[in-house]
Structure 1
Amino acid sequence: MTLSSDGIRLSVLDRSRTREGEDGSQALRDTVRLAQRVEELGYHRFWVSEHHSVPGVAGSAPTVLAAAVAGATSAIRVGTGGVMLPNHQPMVVAEQFGVLESLFPGRIDMGLGRSVGFTDGIRRALGRDRDDAERFGEQLTELLGWFTGTQTAHPQVHARPAEGLRVPAYVLAIGEGASIAAVAGLPLVVGDLRGRERMLSAIDAYRSAFRPSAWAREPYVVVSGTVAVAGSEEAARRLLIPEAWSLAYSRTRGVFPPLTPAERVEELTMTEKQRGFFESGLRGHVYGTEEQVGEALERVVKESGAQEVLVTTSTYDRAALLDSYRRLARVAGMAGPADAEG
């Protein structure tokens, strides 16, 4: 199976996960380096994320990091997966993307989410409330209006240099958020691959309610999730272990920790509750050999009708992660110069 033969795009979202014994600056620099490598491999776009007050994630300012990624690359599309719009004033978001698009014309994506800070303390620090997520549709309309010059929330105010520019906007959502994307006539990014029925239901609802707009004439679906490829199914599964343990630890300790080597995790004595969360964190992802992953992704694309797959894999071993992306590029028939070691 060759995804490229069906016109399916393959992209990457990196969350700038920290590793045990390393600091945030190392994680951010490695995100930029990974972007350079996946550009060489032929991936369509590279996105970065927004997380606040999470010990294991360094990516807290996605537009700043996107600028660093765009400056270090030359052709790959760069964007956010996503800017959490309820955390920000729409005008400021428009200005930031206007600057990015002005500096890197034709390469910037504006991925937008509706989540707000996940604890009361974070929300207070951001000056936001849990209910702000319910205003996502209103905020999205205002944000797009800053680019078109049609926003009415603040008469005689203009977002410079955003006004007049067209930065492609994507909505990261499921459920109600998918409906908002449909009404706005925007592409939808939906995940994860583990919740297949919920994902497919959201996609069906999105397509049914989609209204053509100046931003997109037809529905466009990006499915996102973890994809790990290695020389054997077991080796690919081991790539999932560090993230699965971090999730299990966060569910039982309330803190999302840096990634730990797989071999260390395998030696841990887990409580019954931790073991349950850990095993759950390993299930439902797409992983295996190149042939196995190719077949699995073919099913995902066939079931969803997606035009693009956004890979969100995190693991401790960066060399193994790059190898996974290299193998995945071969699965998609797009491996470039970085197919060689390096």
Structure 2
Amino acid sequence: MIPFSVLDLSPIVEGNTASQALRNTLNLAQHAEKLGYNRYWLAEHHNMPGIASAATSVVIGYVAGGTSTIRVGSGGIMLPNHSPLLIAEQFGTLESLYPGRIDLGLGRAPGSDQATSRALRRDMTGPDTFPQDVVELQHYFQPDDANQFIQAIPGNGLDIPIWILGSSLFGAQLAAMLGLPYAFASHFAPTELLRALQVYRTQFRPSEHLKAPYAMVAANVIAADTDQEAQRLFTSVQQQFLYIRRGKARQMQPPVDNLEAMWPDYELAGIDSVFRCSAVGSPETIQRGLASIITQTKADELIISAPIFDHEARKHSLTLTAQVREALAAQQSEPALV
């Protein structure tokens, strides 16, 4: 059975603080490690009242320091916001502290609105140079070269897996060209998922980093003991996206019993496509949903986003999802009937 991993945005829930959100992140990572999840990724977003992982490299260090076996990384670092050398030094430091456990996922979006992007990096040409910046970043991880005037220390000579993240064909083409693993952000932008995976697999060029294509697919998975309770928990992230669409991002809201009573039909219809790559329900419902996603995408790995208001309910969701993975693995290993 393919590995399952976790994507966490360190949600700041209504009435709580970033400090508590980050403590919850570490606790959830420790829980995921015990359950056998493969990796735990954090994402860079800025000027978002409901997300505490803006300083992504710092949070990765915090999580890696509080765990021992699970891989920890970025899903992702928005490279246009940073110089490649700075990221090479940051992740070189992380890899030096936690050898063999650090992943570096890179995205070309700003992770924020345009005004915030300008405040972050002043120069708005960043996304246009993303491919060159990725290659430059790779170069900093090459073995020490006496002819290389600028070096990443720590960084050079370290084996840090680089992933290309994307929600369109651009990232798929770049990952294929560079021979790197590819992760698709289908948990919020599923429209181009199947086309992007096809482009990545058909155009993939083997490299020193990867001999065959490796694709990870992101999915929202909200698991609870009953379908009704899971659907209720799901309303928190639905509200979060609705507020973002209105330009009024806020802390994650508590779940509600009747979302339709709070929002116009046309707004609710607008988010249906956003969450198309989701499995929400009891373990039985989750098993059917994830089996369908795996069959359709032929993913090499799934990364699970579980944006839930209550921390204990979120841990329970990861527990149930891990059980589903075991059930899928057992189902896959059953001999075919003759």
Tell me which residue corresponds to 2:282: 289
Q: Deviations over 1:292-313 (max 9, x none)?
A: 2112212211221211000012
Tell me how far apart the structure 2 counterparts of residues 194 and 20 of structure 1 sit (CA, whole Å): 22
- Name 1:300's counterpart in structure 2: 293
> How many residues of Structure 1 are paired with residues of Structure 2 in the alignment?
326
Listed one character per residue, the Cα deviations across residues 65-122 of structure 1 (whole Å, up to 9, x for unaligned) are 0000000001101111111111100011001111111110111111111112532321
1:40 is aligned with what amino acid?
A: K
Report whether the alignment pairs 1:261 with 2:254: yes
Mapped partners of 1:125, 1:131: distance in 2: 13
- Which of 152, 172, 189 is matched with 2:183 structurally? 189
Shift of 1:61: 0.9
Residue aligning to 1:44:
38
Give matches, 1:78-93, under 5 Å: 78-93=72-87
Q: TM-score normalised to the size of structure 1? A: 0.89
Aligned to 1:170: 163
In structure 2, how many angstroms separate the alpha carbons of the residues matched to 1:243 and 1:266? 11
Deviations 1:246-272 (A, max 9, x none): 1112212x1211111113774963345
**Aligned residue number for residue 340 of structure 1:** none
Question: What is the rounded CA distance, in whole Å, between the counterparts of 1:48 and 1:194 in structure 2?
Answer: 15
Counterpart Cα distance in 2 of 1:195 and 1:148: 34
CA–CA separation in structure 1 for the residues paired with 2:107 and 2:144: 22
The one of 91, 94, 99 equivalent to 1:100 is: 94
Determine the C-alpha separation between the residues in 1 that align with 2:71 and 2:107. 19
SS at match of 2:106: strand
Any stretches of 5+ residues in structure 1 without a counterpart? 1-5, 335-342
Alignment identity in percent? 38
Q: Secondary structure at the match of 1:231?
A: coil
Change (3 A) 1:194 1:70: closer
User: The residue matched to 2:308 in structure 1 has which SS?
Assistant: coil
Aligned pair 1:323/2:316, yes or no? yes
1:127 shift after superposition: 2.0
Partner of 1:76: 70
User: Aligned residue for 1:339?
Assistant: none
Among residues 177, 181, 200, which one is paired with 2:194 in the alignment? 200
Alignment correspondent of 1:213? 207
Pick one of 108, 111, 116 that aligns with 1:114: 108
Does the C-alpha gap of structure 1 residues 181 and 332 become closer, same or farther in structure 2, counting only changes over 3 Å? same
Of the three residues 119, 131, 138, the one matched with 1:137 is 131
Contact residue 241 and residue 282 of structure 1 kept, 8 A:
no
RMSD: 2.2
Comparing 137-146 with 262-271, which one deviates more in the overlay?
262-271
Cross-structure match for 1:314: 307
Distance 1:324-1:96 versus aligned 2 partners, 3 A rule: same
- Return the TM-score normalized by structure 2: 0.90
**Of 199, 215, 222, the match for 1:228:** 222
Query: Post-superposition shift, 1:195?
Result: 5.7
Q: Structure 2: where are the runs of 5+ without partners?
A: 328-338
SS of the counterpart of 1:161? coil
Measured in 2, the distance between the counterparts of 1:300 and 1:61 equals: 32
Q: 1:311 to 1:11 in 2, by over 3 A?
A: same
SS at match of 1:177: helix
CA contact (8 A) 1:98 1:161 kept: yes
Deviations 1:209-239 (A, max 9, x none): 1111111111001000201112222221122
Q: Does the 8 A contact of 2:74 with 2:106 survive in 1?
A: yes
Q: Is the 8 A contact 2:187 2:275 kept in 1?
A: no
SS at match of 1:262: coil
> Within 2, Cα distance between the matches of 1:70 and 1:286?
28
Q: Name the SS of the counterpart of 1:75 in structure 2.
A: coil
Query: Aligned to 1:333, what secondary structure does the other structure show?
Result: helix
Contact 2:186 2:277 in 1 (8 A): no
User: 1:220 and 1:96, CA in 2 relative to 1: closer, same or farther beyond 3 A?
Assistant: same
Measure the CA separation in 2 of the matches of 1:322 and 1:263: 20
8 Å contact from structure 1 (residues 244, 279) kept in 2: no
- Which stretch shifts more, 304-313 or 278-287? 278-287
Residue 242 (structure 2) pairs with residue 248 (structure 1): yes
SS at match of 1:157: coil
- Deviation larger for 130-139 or 66-75: 130-139
Does the aligned pair in 2 maintain the 1:223–1:308 contact within 8 Å?
yes
Give the distance between the partners of 1:179 and 1:150, measured in 2 at CA: 29
2-side partners of 1:238 and 1:80: how far apart? 29
